[in-house]
């Protein structure tokens, strides 16, 4: 049992390291993972007086969403096209190991960019985080969920343009209803209900909790993001396994 | 003592929608064999390999590799096999060395072992000096050689090769054939598909011919050739002007067919010695000099033509397309 778990983790890490090496510096990642969320955020926040506890969690959550979900949305279509995804399928690893390794690569990218963004935003605005450890923990769990989202979309479509368009069609509405620009509580009831169906709103909420005052809500947010991560991973595994039939 | 076959299929079948790609295939490849699966495009060779290597599930039937079920014991099967696909699917943005190290990690090979094994393989395949170059900079032949090395890092018991030398330069093809023989001497079972019938004849101890998803012949190349008894060929070239060879010799009851190729006549017969006597008689009575006379046994290509229904020109076209390395096939 421990041997199996060891193989699962070590081979997953090998896949993650390989993806990090090949895809982190692709120009498409810079465009879809960094430039787009940066511009979207600036276009909505410039000229407005936004308090730090709204600005920093919203910005960090958006960077996490876009960067963590972008890696595999680009990697999987490229690997399918070049046949290198088949190389992974030929190896003695389960689809779950492949999905875990790839999610790890996407989430690590999201965590690093989000934390760098958080540090930069704090330096520029003079904002402070009451509980940096919980802030980082929320970023890690949220990035895992977003990376799994990117995996699922990439697994379900045929090519890279379709993956990116589909992902953008999911991500943009999420940032408008997920409390990125204003707290979810300030939205109308119907939007509030929908926002609780997206993982982004839980990350924004958890980051705000970690920034100002941590309560039991933080744990609820964390559990919700973990649930999203597990559900999206399982769906990605199902979609990829279906292609074997 | 009875040993487990290296590869065994029972009623293995694969359908893609209404297309029956592999039709109730029953096949047994013994340990230590070099086995070749021959067939025209779309006959089901690649689909068979994809089912045996766990890349696609059979619609019905079963396949076992060294006694393990290809679907139920997928990971155990994958650990014991190496697969070389026709497309050299390695990471172009990584060096040959890093590709081999990554593959070794995926198969759970420890670092000292995969380092030593990769060095040996790249040296044999004459690529060690270029091990740190990105795969993007490699020629097709070099990429195929690295792909074969990648399939061998974990020392598989059975090696599957789908068109191993298709579209490659002479040097790469020779190296690959020599590696296949060497691996087989070390005890590795080889299962290959090829469009090159001569290659199958030279390499394989046993071949099967597949047509429309069904195995239509399965034996050693030599025994398959014997099945075409009565299909000998006598090739003769005369000096001087000859105009009525086809008319005269063609009437002989032992001559099945006579065809002119350049300055030579190819005579198909069941009794070559009697036909050679007739040729000598004809030359003497017409005052002709015999420049050369050869008898030929049926080739594996003749066997292939008989069982697949393709003619010789179609076979040549098939080999030419393989040389130019076509796309994916069923």
pLDDT in tens, chain B (330 residues): 556 899 999 999 999 888 899 999 999 999 999 999 998 888 899 899 999 999 999 999 999 999 999 999 999 999 999 999 888 789 999 999 999 999 999 999 999 999 999 999 999 999 999 999 999 999 988 999 999 999 999 999 999 999 888 888 888 888 889 999 999 999 999 999 988 888 888 899 999 999 889 999 888 888 887 776 667 788 899 887 777 888 888 888 888 888 887 888 888 888 888 889 989 988 888 888 889 998 877 777 777 777 777 665 666 666 666 555 443 333
* Same-fold call for B7-226 versus B232-296: no
Q: How far apart are alpha carbons B25 and B48 in whole angstroms? A: 9
Joined tokens for residue B90: 């390695």
CB pair distance less than 8 Å for B55 and A92? no
Distance separating alpha carbons of residues B167 and B319, to the nearest angstrom = 10
Q: What is the pLDDT of residues A154-196, one digit of tens each?
A: 999 988 889 988 998 999 888 888 777 777 777 788 888 888 8
Q: What are phi and psi of B165, to 5 degrees?
A: -115, 10
3-state secondary structure of B164: coil
Q: At what angle do helices B170-185 and B111-124 cross, to 10 degrees?
A: 130
Each domain of chain B, given as residue ranges in start order, spans 7-226, 232-296
Task: Count how many Cα atoms sit within 13 Å of the Cα of residue A132 in the half-sphere of its side chain.
Answer: 7
Separation CA B82–CA B158 (nearest Å) = 6
* The two structure tokens encoding residue B295: 């008898």
> Can you give the pLDDT at residue A245?
65
- Nearest residue of B to residue A89 by CA position? B55
Q: Residue B94: which of A11, A22, A83 has the nearest Cβ?
A: A22
Question: Which class does domain B232-296 fall in?
Answer: alpha beta
Residues from chain B that touch A21, judged by Cβ atoms under 8 A, are: 93-94
> Among B78, B91, B94, whose Cβ lies nearest the Cβ of A91?
B78
In B, minimum Cα distance to A85 occurs at: B89
- Residue A83: CB atoms within 10 A of its CB come to 15
Percentage of residues of chain A with pLDDT beyond 70: 98
| Chain A nearest CA to B99, separation (Å) | 9
Q: What is the pLDDT of residue B89?
A: 86
Positive or negative torsion for Cα A3, A6, A12, A13: negative
Pairing mode of beta strands B264-269, B232-239: antiparallel
* Each residue's pLDDT tens digit, A46-88: 777 778 888 889 989 999 999 999 998 899 999 998 889 999 9
State the nearest Cα–Cα gap between A89 and chain B, in angstroms: 7
Predicted local confidence at residue B300, as pLDDT: 78
What CATH fold (topology level) applies to the domain B7-226? Rossmann fold (3.40.50)
pLDDT digits (tens, 9 = 90+) for B301-319: 777 777 777 665 666 666 6
- B153 contacts B111 by C-beta, under 8 angstroms: no
pTM for the whole structure: 0.83
Residues of A with CB under 8 A from a CB of B: 7, 10-11, 14-15, 18, 21-22, 82-84, 86-94, 244-245
Residue A40 neighbours by CB distance under 10 Å:
18
The single-letter DSSP state of residue B297 is P
CA angle A118/A188/A206 to nearest 5° reads: 30
Q: Which residues of B226-258 are buried (b: 16+ CB within 10 A; e: fewer)?
A: eeeeebbbbebbbeeebeebbebbeebeebeeb
**Element at B267 (helix H, strand E):** strand B264-269
Taking alpha carbons only, the member of A211, A20, A235 closest to residue A113 is A20
Of B54, B89, B103, the CB nearest to A83: B89
> Which residue of chain A is at minimal alpha-carbon distance from B74?
A92
CA torsion angle B81 B43 B220 B174 (round to 10): -60
Q: What is the ipTM of this complex?
A: 0.88
- Centre a 10 Å sphere on the Cβ of residue A103 and count the other Cβ atoms it contains: 30
């Amino acid at each position: 049992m421990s041997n199996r778990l060891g193989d699962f983790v070590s081979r997953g890490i090998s896949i993650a390291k390989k993806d990090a090496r090949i895809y982190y510096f692709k120009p498409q990642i810079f465009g879809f993972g960094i430039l787009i969320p940066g511009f979207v955020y600036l276009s909505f926040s410039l000229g407005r007086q936004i308090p730090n506890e709204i600005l920093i969690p919203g910005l960090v959550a958006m960077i996490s969403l876009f960067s963590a979900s972008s890696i595999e949305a680009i990697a999987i279509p490229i690997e399918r096209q070049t046949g290198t995804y088949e190389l992974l399928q030929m190896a003695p690893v389960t689809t779950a190991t492949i999905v875990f390794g790839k999610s790890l690569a996407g989430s690590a990218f999201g965590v690093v960019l989000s934390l760098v963004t958080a540090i930069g935003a704090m330096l520029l605005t003079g904002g402070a985080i009451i509980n940096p450890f919980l802030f980082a923990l929320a970023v890690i769990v949220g990035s895992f969920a977003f990376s799994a989202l990117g995996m699922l979309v990439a697994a379900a479509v045929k090519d890279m343009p379709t993956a990116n368009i589909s992902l953008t069609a999911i991500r943009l509405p999420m940032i408008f209803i997920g409390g990125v620009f204003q707290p979810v509580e300030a939205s109308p009831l119907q939007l509030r209900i929908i926002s609780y169906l997206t993982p982004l709103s839980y990350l924004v909420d958890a980051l705000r909790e970690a920034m100002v005052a941590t309560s039991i809500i933080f744990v609820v947010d964390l559990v919700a993001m973990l649930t999203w991560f597990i559900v999206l991973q399982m769906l990605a595994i199902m979609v990829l396994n279906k292609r074997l039939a | 003592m009875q040993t487990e076959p290296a590869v065994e299929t029972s009623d293995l079948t694969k359908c893609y929608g209404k297309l029956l790609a592999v039709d109730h295939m029953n096949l047994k490849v013994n340990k230590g064999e070099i086995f070749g699966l021959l067939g025209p495009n779309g006959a089901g060779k690649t689909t068979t390999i994809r089912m045996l290597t766990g890349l696609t599930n059979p619609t019905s039937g079963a396949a076992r590799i060294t006694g393990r079920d290809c679907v139920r014991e997928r990971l155990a099967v994958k650990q014991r096999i190496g697969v070389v696909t026709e497309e050299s699917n390695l990471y172009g943005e990584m060096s040959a060395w890093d590709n081999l190290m990554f593959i070794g990690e995926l198969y759970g090979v420890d670092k000292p072992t995969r380092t030593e094994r990769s060095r040996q393989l790249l040296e044999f395949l004459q690529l060690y000096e270029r091990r740190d170059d990105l795969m993007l900079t490699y020629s097709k032949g070099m990429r195929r050689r690295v792909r074969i090395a990648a399939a061998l890092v974990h020392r598989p018991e059975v090696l599957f090769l789908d068109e191993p030398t298709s579209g490659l330069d002479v040097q790469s093809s020779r190296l690959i054939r020599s590696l296949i023989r060497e691996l087989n001497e070390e005890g590795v079972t080889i299962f290959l598909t090829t469009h090159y019938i001569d290659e199958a004849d030279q390499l394989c101890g046993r071949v099967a011919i597949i047509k429309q998803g069904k195995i239509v012949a399965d034996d050693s190349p030599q025994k398959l050739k014997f099945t075409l008894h009565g299909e000998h060929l006598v090739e003769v070239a005369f000096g001087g002007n000859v105009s009525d060879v086809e008319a005269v010799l063609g009437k002989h009851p032992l001559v099945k067919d006579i065809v002119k190729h350049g300055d030579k006549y190819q005579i198909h017969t069941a009794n070559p010695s009697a036909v050679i006597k007739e040729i000598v008689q004809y030359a003497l009575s017409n005052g002709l000099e015999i420049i050369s006379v050869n008898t030929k046994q049926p080739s594996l290509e003749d066997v292939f033509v008989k069982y697949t229904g393709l003619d010789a020109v179609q076979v040549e076209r098939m080999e030419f397309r393989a040389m130019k390395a076509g796309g994916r096939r069923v």
